[in-house]
Amino acid sequence: MFRFFENLVDPYTAYEQTDLPPQRLIPFLWGYARPFRRVFVAAILLKIVVAAVEVWLIHALGQVVDILSKGTPAQVWQDHGLWLIGLALFILVVRSLLQGLDAAILNNGVMPNFGTLIRWRAHAQVLRQSVGWFENDFAGRIANRIMQTPPAAGEAVFQVFDAITFAIAYAVGALILLGDADPRLALPLVVWLLLYGFLVRWTMKRVGPASKAASDARSAVTGRVVDAYTNIHAVKLFAHHDRELAYAKEAIDKARRTFAAEMRIFTKMDVALTALNGFLIVGVVGWAILLWMQGTASVGVVAAATALTLRLNAMTGWIMWALSSFFRSLGVVAEGMETIAQPITLTDAVGAKPLQLRAGEIAIQSLSHHYGRGSGGLNRVDLVIRPGEKVGLVGRSGAGKSTLVKLLLRFYDVEGGRILIDGQDISDVTQESLRRHVGMVSQDASLMHRSVRENILYGRPEASEAEMIAAARRAEAHEFILDLQDPEGLTGYDARVGERGVKLSGGQRQRVALARVILKDAPILVLDEATSALDSEVEAAIQETLYGVMEGKTVIAIAHRLSTIAHMDRIVVLDDGRIAEEGTHAALLARNGLYAQFWARQSGGFIGTEAAE
């Protein structure tokens, strides 16, 4: 039975992705709610029926009181026995079925699937953002918003159906019931409803912004805490335990203050609500008693009015808290929208086609990129890398080497000029197809917190076990992998490497990353200090492997250790965003220019020009 309701909506149903998500709250939520429209309609109708049944039961209670007050037990049973039995069966069977169906649709049909759908789609949306977008925010804050928005949206939907719809239907039913008994009894309820509405408006007007501020503050705490955990080596190395505590305390205390401000609103609401409910009880019940004393109302009417007001009195606090929870949840969703609803700025061109790589020629034409600053980066660079050519890139820090590689991978859109691969502008092909044809090993070899096997197979998931092990052997990684064991007792290729691969040494991480790229076997290879974390003995073995891997590929290699690129077909020297020199190692040394200065200054094979002028 539960499975039927749980399968009413598929949270992973196909949908059309958008680069420009709605920027307003209701359209944003409505986009996620579309697959649930029929279920939502059923939930609303059922909640109205349930509320109507509850109000009718109070009316039935008044009738029971009148029946009991007008005859002996024998007479009551003779005249009304069947009606009393029918009422009992209705309460036991029909009411229970309606309540159960209402609960199943909401608890089993909506709640598990609505949050799942939002989390799935929000994660898919954020993954489409560019590398630069991620570099401008805390990973912890992004993750926190992805995680807290779905339950907040689910809570908002729950309150709409569980409390708000029920409360409206119940209030309408109460007005009808009291008006039917005596129109004058409805007057105190109308006055109370108006005052209650003003209190709700006052509360909600303040709860939304207050809850958003509190949510922002909590996200800031998460961002700072995760930042410290992610960089725990630096925290320990520089002995900044107390500094990190103080840095976190600043955000934690701001979160405390914003939450305290939010709670003040609820305290004021509670005091006002208590006074309003007192007016409701005295107004409705007192008037009913007065009408009874005047002989215009029966005991049953007084009983029904009393039961109804006490029920409303009990409900008002719950409804107000439900409304507060509703608007608080909307505040959390609004805060999450600051991340989830950001436009995708780095997109595929309309009608973009997969890259058709034939030979692997890279043509860079008048390439300029300054990260929007007007200076730094690259300035009108022209370079052609022939198919199968191995080119080394050298230059001072900030000369533009990494910028060129990021633009080649289209982590950023160029600000001027273009990059062609086999005559195809990379801005006109799909990003996925472009990056599938490029293998890269960077200086910061970051691994997933997964098994060694999963990390290597990330290069080519469909590869066989034998192909994966062969790649690890070529990267000089197989032997140390067999000796690995994680805290869970998993060994060898099944061992987990920790977040960003922290359970491995720098050299081990680099070799696993190399194995991943070797397995990918992309026709274009980018090496950004690919052997910088290796000791000399392993580096010598890896260099031989890399020379083999480079065969038949177009290669761009960035290096500060010039000995690693001395045998390249050509070396390009970048300086201040421009090509200063290019040629073979021997030709550049003979030229006695910038490269020759680098070579002369290097110590132990490093370029040593960070402070050189």
Tally the residues of the chain: 613
- On the 0-12 / 13-18 / 19+ scale of CB atoms within 10 A, 506 is middle
Q: Is the CATH code 3.30.70.270 the one for domain 373-601? A: no
CA distance 171 to 173: 5
Give the tokens for residue 272. Answer: 């006002």
Give the tokens for residue 301. Answer: 């009417």
Residues with Cβ within 8 Å of residue 57, at least 6 apart in sequence: 91, 95
2-340 and 373-601, same CATH topology:
no
pTM confidence score: 0.76
Question: Looking at residue 604, what is its pLDDT?
Answer: 43
CA distance 337 to 339: 5
Question: Looking at residue 374, what is its pLDDT?
Answer: 67
CA distance 196 to 272: 9
Please, are residues 488 and 496 in contact by the beta-carbon 8 Å criterion? yes
CA distance 493 to 450: 10
Closest of 233, 550, 155 to residue 392, by C-alpha: 550
| Mean pLDDT of each 10-residue bin along the chain, 613 residues long | 89 90 89 92 90 84 81 83 90 91 91 92 91 82 86 88 81 79 78 83 81 84 85 82 91 92 85 82 80 79 78 73 78 86 90 93 94 80 95 88 92 93 95 93 81 94 95 91 90 88 82 91 88 65 76 88 85 93 93 90 53 37
Q: What is the DSSP letter of 348?
A: P
Closest of 528, 583, 519 to residue 555, by C-alpha: 528
CATH of 2-340, one of 1.10.3720.10, 1.20.1560.10, 1.20.20.10, 3.50.30.50: 1.20.1560.10
Please, are residues 195 and 315 in contact by the beta-carbon 8 Å criterion? no
Question: Looking at residue 535, what is its pLDDT?
Answer: 65
**Segments making up each domain of the chain, as ranges:** 2-340, 373-601
